[in-house]
Structure 1
Amino acid sequence: MMAQPVESPNNYAIVADYPAKTYTKKYETLLIDGVRVESPFNNTQMVFRLSDVSFESDYYNRFITEPGAIIENQIPTLLIRSGVVANTVPYNAGVSTNLVLKTVVTKLFGDFRKGQTPTAVMEIQFILVDSSSVRPAIIFDKKILSKVELSDKTPEALAKGLGNAFSEIIEELAEAFSQE
């Protein structure tokens, strides 16, 4: 009897579009801290919501690397392209700047519950800390939720939907920064 070939996982990325609008520069330099993704979304496996209380991770459909890294790699370019930030510095560059952007992904899944339109759900909390004084001060703290309807219940549609959700979140963040 021949052994069946083992199915290899499909790999996806979350890719945001550049912001559609350009905002007035608000910050000269931001240090972008490492992005934290809350459990159970901090894994390479895609997560699907199947009922009000049932979530499932999918071994065969996963992100190419941890979602925090995928998101973290795009934030600097997206914020600079929005115009609201002139320069960004990665947290591991050894360069100090007063303003630190902390990012926490609190939701990252496909809502595939029966009887409703499949939806990509992403929620990110952004905290801007001014560390110029002895006691660092939070000068901005906002959780932004985006839900994007999907054409179908597939991992590919979910990856595209999460990219669109990320784009919407960055757009809303740039807008909020510009009004600070």
Structure 2
Amino acid sequence: MKFVIRIFIVSLFSIFFTQCFGVSKTFPEKRFFLIETNNAKQLFSPPKPRTFFVRKVFISQRFEGKEFVYRRDNAVYESDFYNGFFIPPSHNFKEEFSKSLIQSGNFEWDANLHTRVNVTHYIELNLSQLYGDFRSKEPKAVVEFEVVVYEDMNSISSPVFRKTYKQNITIEKKDAEALVIGWNSALNNAFTELNIDISKQLK
């Protein structure tokens, strides 16, 4: 009898707590996104006999997590618990970057995927900005990254190519899906510029 009374009291407490403090409130489901760029314009046919190996991908600690980051004020950033990357953003960025190099025809092989090829170029990436700028009525998707290319395995010699690319794309609204669409457009623009630069710079 005491056990039944105890259960009854606990049940009443649970109902009271739920009604008073809104514990039963439903929360939005978490959503996961991938950055996906369009096919890069082919600059050469057939591809030049170059291969590359992306040996390092640096990403700012502010943006290395899977949760999306929004800039609400000059000194205020916030992360979005309910919207984020399906895989770590550094991996997602590296995949799209590598895909653009192959599709453009600037490189014939990705040595990260084909281990038996001789590597002609080693690449380091530094992704310094990746966030939604929500400070004004015209929100923007912000991307900034640096590309450094070497012709030797070590980083002792000077790079044969080095440049920073930045894009600020206006998006329709302050929304996670709109932000991803903006990032896609920003990277399409940056990768197009990058591949044109590489086609002129590398031997």
TM-score normalized by structure 2?
0.79
**Secondary structure of 2:96's match?**
helix
- Describe how 1:96-175 pairs up with structure 2 within 5 A: 97-114=119-136, 116-131=137-152, 135-175=156-196
The one-letter amino acid paired with 2:78 is E
User: Is the 1:47–1:58 Cα contact (8 Å) retained in structure 2?
Assistant: yes
Within-5 A mapping of 1:56-75: 56-75=78-97
SS at match of 2:110: strand
* Number of equivalenced pairs: 178
Matched, 1:33 2:55: yes
State the SS of the aligned residue for 2:173. coil
| Cα RMSD after superposing both structures | 2.3
Q: Are the equivalent residues in 1 in contact too, given 2:34–2:85 (CA < 8 A)?
A: yes
- Assess if the C-alpha contact under 8 Å between 1:26 and 1:177 holds in 2: no
Distance 1:132 1:32, change over 3 A: closer
SS in 2 for 1:85: coil
TM-score normalised by L of structure 1: 0.88
Structure with greater proportional strand content: 1
- Distance in 1 (alpha carbons) for counterparts of 2:187 and 2:98: 13
**RCO (CA 8 Å, sep 6+): is it higher in 1 or 2?**
1
Structure 1: segments with no counterpart, 5+ residues: none
Q: Which of residues 16, 23, 42 in structure 1 aligns to 2:43?
A: 23
Kept after mapping to 1: 8 A contact 2:51/2:118: no
Give the number of the structure whose residues are more often helix, by fraction.
2
